[in-house]
Amino acid sequence: IADVLLSFPPILVALLINGILRGALPSSAQAESALIVLILSIGLTNWVQYARTVRGSTMVERRKEYIEAARTLGTGKLAIMMKHILPNVLGPVLVIATINLGMAVLTEATLSFLGVGMPPTQPSLGTLIQIGNEFLFSGIWWVVVFPAAALAILVLAVNLLGDWLRDALNPKLR
């Protein structure tokens, strides 16, 4: 399932899930549930990376010698998981979380720009960019440039945080 989901672009999967969930809801509840639909559509496209990373890191860690030594000493499976494997898996997961946070912000802005994200009455950088796009070539360029710059700076800041976390949590650099 994970490989199949990774073969599709996340924005298309989010559009599909968004369309299905909005179609299942009555029209009176769509404005109130727009945020929940966005969270579900973005969340259902991003779980695959976490599952693959946690599984791969766990498989690597459980074959290491110190895990075998802990098993030999009689340490239980839960204790090995909590004391040894989880701390080593947590670093890559946090890095992926920061990258996915930036991608989630971009996905929300893209869906809102296309008109299928947040309703126009809710604040969203994508909605602001969509509204400002109409004024871009009429001399009022700042209406689109400042929300777009804010979006770019926000995503860049989140990605820089992810780079810092990767460096801080890398056991080889400690």
The model's pLDDT over 94-108, given as tens digits with 9 standing for 90+, comes to 889 998 999 999 989
Which of 128, 97, 103 minimizes the C-alpha distance to 118?
128
Query: Which pLDDT band holds residue 78 (cuts at 50, 70, 90)?
Result: very high
Looking at domain 2-173, its CATH superfamily turns out to be MetI-like (1.10.3720.10)
- The pLDDT confidence band at residue 173, using thresholds 50, 70 and 90, is low
Average pLDDT estimate for 64-86: 92
CA gap 11, 112 in Å, rounded: 12
User: What's the rounded Cα separation, in Å, for the pair 70 and 11?
Assistant: 44
pLDDT at 29 over 70: yes
Compute the radius of gyration of the chain from its Cα atoms. 21
**Domain residue ranges in the chain:** 2-173
Helices (H) and strands (E) in the chain, counts: 8, 0
- Amino acid (1-letter code) at residue 85: I
Whole-structure pTM value: 0.81
User: Which two tokens mark 127?
Assistant: 């909605």
